[in-house]
Amino acid sequence: MLTQLWRSADVCGFYSPASNLIGSLPAMKDSPSKRIAESSSYPDCVRYHPENNSTIFAVTNDDGDVVAVHEVFLSSDAREIGRRTTGLPEEGFVRFRGVGPATIVKDEPEEGMRLWADTGGEVWVDVTGIPDSASAAN
């Protein structure tokens, strides 16, 4: 299910429907950096799943294998309505590639993406402490 979910999600490009949804997340709205909005695509670790109307963040191990996904379910107006982690998040991080040594944060991936956008630095997010929401879709 994990790899099927990741592979069935769309790459998030600037002109994709996902760009409006991800750009509307509170962590991104408040970001002083517009680096993501000005780029042609989002980081490789971020995808959009149209069937679930969710943003999916890949958790990868040191070899680059997807070992878990953290899914943020969105309403039609891009408000978060739940989240769920599938797989083994303790075996990796959501990795936003950037310049310099990685800053490791234990937070929601949206916050890691904001930090990455603001600094351009490498940011790794540990999602092990984020509970699944009771309202996680299906």
Please give the full DSSP string across 18-64, using - where no structure is assigned: HHHHHHTSHHHHT-S--HHHHSSB--TTEEEETTTTEEEEEEE-TTS
Regarding predicted confidence, which is higher, 63 or 30?
63
| 11 within 8 A of 47, measured Cβ to Cβ | yes
Predicted structure pTM score: 0.81
Residue 70 has pLDDT above 50, yes or no: yes
For residue 23, the model assigns a pLDDT of 57
> How many CB atoms are closer than 10 A to CB 46?
22
Distance from chain centroid for Cα 24? 13
**Beta-strand (E) ranges in 62-120?**
66-74, 80-87, 94-96, 99-105
Give the 3-state secondary structure of residue 10. strand
- Most confident residue range from 1-10, 24-33, 84-93, 114-123: 84-93
Average pLDDT over residues 89-111: 95
pLDDT confidence tier of residue 102, bands split at 50, 70 and 90:
very high
Q: What DSSP character marks residue 134?
A: T
Average pLDDT over residues 48-60: 89
Per the structure block, which two tokens stand in for 115?
């930090």
Ordered by start, the domain boundaries in the chain are: 2-89
pLDDT confidence tier of residue 14, bands split at 50, 70 and 90:
very low
